[in-house]
Amino acid sequence: MRTRKERIIASILLIIILLSSIVLGSHGEVHAHPELTNILYSESETGWVIKESSISGAHSANANITYSFDDSTFTTVTDAFGNVASYLKTDFKNGASLWTTSVPELTITEISSGGVFNVYTEYKSLDTCVASVSSFGSYAIVDGNSNHMHYTGADIFLNTARMPMGSTNNVPVVTHEFGHAIGLKDIYTRKDIIMYGYSPNPITSPQSYDINGARVILGLHSNNDHVYITTYKSFSEHEKVCNICDGYMVENHNSVTYGIYTGSPSHGSKCSECNTNIYTCSKSISAGTWMKVSSKDICRTRNISCDSGHSETEKDITHTINSNNICIDCGFSGTNIWCLWVLHSWSDVIKEKISTQDQCYKTTQKCSKCKQNRELIVDAHSFGSLCTNTYCQNCDYSRPVTHDLEQYYQNASTATVCRYIKSKCKNCTFDQTIQTDVTHDYTAWSSISSSQHNRSCTDCGYVETKSHTYSNSCDTTCNDCSATHSISHTYINACDTSCNVCGLTRTITHKYINTCDTSCDVCGVTRTISHTYSGVCDTSCNVCGATRSAPAHTYKNNCDTSCNVCGAMRTISHTYSSVCDTSCNVCGAIRTASAHTYKNNCDTSCDVCGATRTISHTYSGACDTSCNVCGATRSASAHTYKNNCDTSCNVCGAARSITHKYTTYTNNGSSGHTVNCSICGVRGGTSSHLKSTSDGGHSGNLHYYIDTCSKCSYSYRWSRSCSGPPCVVPNSLPVDEK
């Protein structure tokens, strides 16, 4: 129980709180546009930062934006692969459409010139930024804050060196830069937004934080759109700050008392909205043990008290039942008074967020029939079917989900558009056009008839058909497909050398009666001619018979066949001495004639013409006296030889047969001897020695003998053993040793 003093103090505090409510009212002023102090202009819990740039009069619901392309840069600047930057116009428009889709009240319109945003391209180095936004024109500083400035326009620069054709990163880059143009700054503390300031950024479209920031800047966020977070401000007030725009309002605490049996370690009074304690008993409390009552109206009770004497009985009047209709706290069975389990009509009473990966929330449900409770833990999160739904709809659990994009082509197959390069999410219905391919990749032109040709696009199959084109009526080959056709050139007449259409020249021949005719029979053109004569001495033209005066023919002699003046030829007869004469007596001309015929080489008179000649008789040598051909004789020297063995005459070389005289011998050693001619020394045959042996005397124990040849100088000494002296060998040789 409280003491009297404590009850008086509590009453005084209650009176103060009531008076404060009367003086201040239940709520304070609402600030639709927040204070411009370190909230809008620094990174906050909202996840975005306002940077005022080009929208004049921001926060005034001006959601109409215009832009213009600097066409000169889109038609001349190329990317790193030589592609003209016109494709970035499509990427830019796609990036703008992501903002208009995210903020339906926003209108972004392209105009030919004078747009609030001037968009241009430039090829810069790879270490230069991908794209940027820079303000131009006049500006105004709002409320004296240099971070809050309104500009009249801005340039949007796209670097083609880092934005090549077909890159899937082009549209997200443009979308990010458009956020700057709207008025958002880079954010470096969270990666789940398009305005993340570092690269790479996995986000490809504006997220809820980006959209909230855009709506505030564009004046599309009003008091009715605030989503407040309530926090303590002072003893008597709390502050509600919008988590979208950071706008706030201040209001008094809504004081309620709380009992000691609520389970808190202390008791007193607190604000029902910000949960701030207004009055707290300083004494600690203790709770007794739950005591089961197990009745229909009361599950259980326990006693709670503090050292100050405060004491209350806490009653748990709600049963929490299981599937058997039995209270899990007190064991009371409501089978007879509660609904059957399958007949309960449950509805959520309290939802308590768990927000973990495995559990979503815990809900306490009450049956509308029997008024009993049960607790359920829901495991499955509810994100919806779209990949863009990254937050659970029940507990706000965030999942790191992005689109799983795959690129594909959609054929347009028209004359102006080949195909669309698109990407779609594998997991949801998200589908976007990345680029419009307006350039067909045609095959070569192919002739399909005498008048037409066609070609087809290898990418989309579109077939373009055209008529054959020729440079002029004389052109035989189609300029596109090289198909040929027959033509006829046009000339004034048969003598005209240049076609009247194409100027093609031709070689013609004028028509004349003969080579002496001076005027063409077709066109009348005249020419200078020369009459044709056989020579200088010819007086009549060979073609037309025209006559002239000329000198007479002149020849060197009777055999000259060519006129000395004109070279005219004549037939002559040469003069020869006889039938066998080959040389003309006048000019020496050579002819083919019968050769002279003689009986033999010694005949001096031709049998045909009687011409005589000088001959030489033929002899076998200088010593021959009779001609070998005709037998004519002559006086000659006798044959002369060196000796009786010489076979060739020293004068004429005539050969003879001789017989050598072999009377001398040459010693060849032990093998025999050779016989030699005693006249000329020529060698004959060889034969064995004709030996004879003689006594050679005695010496020591040897007796010597000498062999000699009777024909040559052969001599040989040999010995036999002797036991003497005296010599016992007979002087005569044994028969078998001779």
- What is the structure's pLDDT at 257? 57
- Hey, is 179 helix, strand or coil? helix
pLDDT for position 175: 93
pLDDT digits (tens, 9 = 90+) for 21-39: 222 222 222 222 232 222 3
Report residues of the chain scoring pLDDT below 70.
1-62, 135-152, 222-224, 245-248, 256-266, 279, 335-336, 341-342, 385-386, 388, 400-401, 724-738
Evaluated on CA atoms 508, 512, 513, 515, the torsion sign reads negative
Question: How far apart, in whole angstroms, are the C-alpha atoms of residue 700 and residue 691?
Answer: 26
In order of 89, 457, 575, the CA distances from 438 in angstroms are: 12, 12, 102
- Cα–Cα nearest to 220, from 80, 315, 105, 335: 105
Sheet of 117-122: strands edge to edge? 107-110, 64-69, 117-122, 149-159, 131-141
Buried (b) or exposed (e) across 700-714, using 16+ Cβ within 10 A?
eeebbbebebebbeb
Supply the pLDDT for residue 260.
54
Q: What's the pTM?
A: 0.35
Angle at the Cα of 79 from the Cα atoms of 74 and 80, rounded to 5 degrees: 165
Residue type, 588: G
Inter-residue contact 323 to 335 (CB < 8 Å) = no
Predicted confidence at residue 469, as pLDDT, reads 92
Name the residue with tokens 């067909």: 440
- Distance between alpha carbon 374 and the CA centroid of its chain, in Å? 68
Residue entry with tokens 């701030």: 276
Contacts of 575 (CB under 8 A, 6+ apart): 558, 559, 584, 585, 586
Q: Which of 68, 58, 90 is nearest to 213 (CA)?
A: 58
Token pair 């060979």 in the structure block, residue: 542
Task: Let me know the angle formed at the C-alpha of 34 by 28 and 37, rounded to the nearest 5 degrees.
Answer: 115
Going by C-alpha positions, the residue among 234, 238, 285, 239 that lies closest to residue 258 is 285
- β-bridge mates for residue 672, sequence order: none
Burial of 663 (0-12, 13-18, 19+ CB in 10 A): exposed
Q: Name the phi and psi angles at 120, rounded to 5.
A: -145, 160
Give the model's pLDDT for residue 517.
86
Please report the DSSP string for 5-48 in residue order.
HHHHHHHHHHHHHHHHHHHH-S---B-SS--TTTTTTS--TTS-
Strand stretches in 173-246, DSSP E: 228-232, 237-242
Tokens, residue 616: 């030489």
Instruction: Express each pLDDT in 233-277 by its tens digit.
Output: 777 788 877 777 666 677 888 876 566 545 455 677 778 788 777
pLDDT of 99 reads: 94
